[in-house]
Chain A
């Protein structure tokens, strides 16, 4: 019996799950009254796409049964997860402490993460980059960021 690829099963199941969610939404929409002159009733287009995803998910799972069970090697998601955690903290901090303060903290953390060894250098670079971003986006491009919930001044 050929080895079963767990990765393939998970990927196929993901597509199947998205297809199911699409079908549920299509069913909800199809219960709504169609508008005048509307041949393609609400939900039909979504139902078509979702059906395709369900089939693709099932076929992918079926093919995974006959494929190699080898998993991609050499992948260490630790660094990626740490970077994502820094980004999540940055995005979460923007509405709380404001764009500029959150950016300063983010840049310092990002420089440390990407390999700037000295804290003093990371802080200096963070200050320079934050000032540059503030001038370009807040002052020049007039991007309006959310008002911070917590302010020092």
Chain B
């Protein structure tokens, strides 16, 4: 019933407009290569704050996040340029389908698979979310610390090729987050007598720089190709092809959703995994890469289900599983909403309206992505030379308006150069943001837990002890898997 009330609640003109705006913007950034959902959310976050409507802002940011999962497939299929990292596997078979004159079918399958995954994901979120939140109410600081510590294992999957690099960058993010006042004593840290430094670093300029500005600096050197100008062909696949794609979409959904609830298992991980599973279970794995419809359906469903699943730990525990959910968390906090179990009790109407908006948003996205696909295809031809200055201009305003401080623009600029250097040198950026966001939460939970009963408290409470043990197992297994993979590569 709550979810039905939520869906009805979205049908107010203002909220519907925010939902539509988020979905359109999400599709737009998904279509345009070079700007991901995390970067756009970071850029738009301070602007949505001026809307003075918490529900509307969160609905818009959420729509932007899962909308990007829909839009990212368009350029992958038509141009072989992935709009998002999670759309890379869609290129493998989507672009060969376009070259074979079946681009319309590939786009139809991508949109419908995303829709199926989105709706199933929303239903599971509505069903599982409140139960998880009630369970989370039993949590004290030690359990939260253990859960946050376990979330740090995401650094492993976000690390890319080198665990050491990921760990280093993650710890650096946590250290940067300590700038400003001590949460308990109030003492200024890393201030060196400067008022601007004593205020600490704000999340928005850091993310705007690391993602937005750095992306432009990297892209300005790379150059973006023009869209494929061939025919799309018919849209809906027929007979066996349709059945095969729907089955693959369901498999992708059930791979992407559980992964989405785990820290660090971001949409790219899920879409690659779903593509790999399809290839393994196929009777003709050798045909993958030449235009197989399951190769489009499964990764698209997986990345959308994964994006939707990220809202489960975010709303139930207040824990983000990746950079984009972390920005939604930041938005909730800016609006004075405490993400976590109490959100389902204290802000019941808000939570169900946001969940309801996801059902509505998925329908909007299906409408946007099926009849309007030609329009999106044309939009992706906008030359980068006209787009990049706008993005940079918005980055500057976004960094400034977070605290109305020119200092924050300098921070964004510095973060942009650092982000550029990190990408060029093969250092992962996502762990830095994860560390920056989780750092203060970990420090507070650690301090509170130690005050409750010293270090032993983590091992005397079953849930915290279990999670810490699980974190140790995940780290050990990851190191072992990385070593075996490295040995096989060199053999």
Task: Give A contacts to B, CB under 8 Å.
Answer: 7, 11, 15, 18, 22, 25, 29, 32, 34-35, 37-40, 42, 45-46, 49-50, 52-53, 56-57, 59-60, 63, 72, 75-77, 79-80, 83-84, 87-88, 90-91, 94-95, 103, 106-107, 110-111, 113-116, 125, 129, 133, 137, 141-146
Contact = CB atoms under 8 A, between A and B. Distances in A.
B174 A49 contact: yes
B392 interface: yes
Given A83-B217, A91-B410, A143 B175 contact: no
Given A45-B446, A53-B168, A141-B50, A133 B397 contact: yes
Interface stretch (B76-84, B332-340, B374-382, B401-409): B401-409
Interface stretch (B14-22, B111-119, B181-189): B181-189
Contacts of A79: 220-221
A96 B162 CA distance: 44
Interface string B442-468: 010011001100100000000000000
Interface of B: 47, 50, 164-165, 167-168, 171-172, 174-175, 178, 182, 184-185, 187, 189-190, 213, 216-217, 220-221, 383-386, 388-390, 392-393, 396-397, 400-401, 404, 406, 409-410, 413, 416-417, 420, 424-427, 443, 446-447, 450-451, 454
A91 B164 contact: no
B388 A72 contact: no
Nearest to B171: A52
Contact of A146 (B174, B406, B454): B406
B47 A141 contact: yes
B167 A80 contact: no
14 contacts: A15-B172, A37-B451, A40-B451, A45-B443, A45-B447, A46-B189, A59-B164, A60-B165, A84-B413, A125-B386, A133-B397, A141-B50, A143-B397, A144-B404
Given A42-B185, A91-B410, A143-B404, A83 B220 contact: yes
Contact of B190 (A25, A39, A77, A142): A25
Nearest to A84: B417
A119 to B, nearest CB: 14
Given A53-B168, A80-B217, A107 B393 contact: yes
Contacts of B385: 111, 114-116
Contact of B397 (A7, A40, A137): A137
A12 B185 CA distance: 33
A111 B390 CA distance: 10
Contacts of A103: 393
Contacts of B189: 25, 29, 46
A45 B426 CA distance: 28
B230 to A, nearest CB: 26
Contacts of B383: 115
B129 to A, nearest CB: 32
Contacts of A60: 164-165, 168
A114 B187 contact: no
B422 to A, nearest CB: 10
A144 to B, nearest CB: 6
B10 to A, nearest CB: 24
Contacts of A29: 182, 187, 189
Nearest to B383: A115
B179 to A, nearest CB: 9
B251 to A, nearest CB: 38
A144 B443 CA distance: 34
Q: Tell which of B383, B385, B409 has the most Cβ of chain A within 10 Å.
A: B385
A87 to B, nearest CB: 6
Contacts of A90: 396
Contacts of B175: 18, 22, 46, 49-50, 53
A115 B219 CA distance: 13
A110 B389 contact: yes
A91 B447 CA distance: 39
Given A40-B446, A60-B165, A113-B220, 5 more contacts: A25-B190, A53-B171, A80-B217, A80-B221, A115-B383
A143 B164 contact: no
A45 B178 contact: yes
Given A18-B175, A49-B171, A114-B385, A35 B185 contact: yes
Contacts of A80: 217, 220-221, 420
Contacts of B413: 84, 87-88, 91
A54 B400 CA distance: 33
Q: Tell which of B167, B172, B410 has the most Cβ of chain A within 10 Å.
A: B172
A32 B186 CA distance: 12
Contacts of A88: 413
Given A11-B425, A79-B221, A49 B178 contact: yes
A15 B178 contact: no
Given A39-B451, A46-B178, A91-B406, A110 B184 contact: no
A37 B50 CA distance: 40
A69 B313 CA distance: 43
B167 A56 contact: yes
B406 A95 contact: yes
B443 A56 contact: no
Contacts of B393: 103, 106-107, 110, 129, 133
Contacts of B451: 37-40
Contact of B164 (A63, A87, A94): A63
Contacts of A107: 389, 393
Contacts of B390: 129
Contacts of A76: 221
A35 to B, nearest CB: 5
B396 A91 contact: yes
Contacts of A110: 388-389, 392-393
A144 B90 CA distance: 44
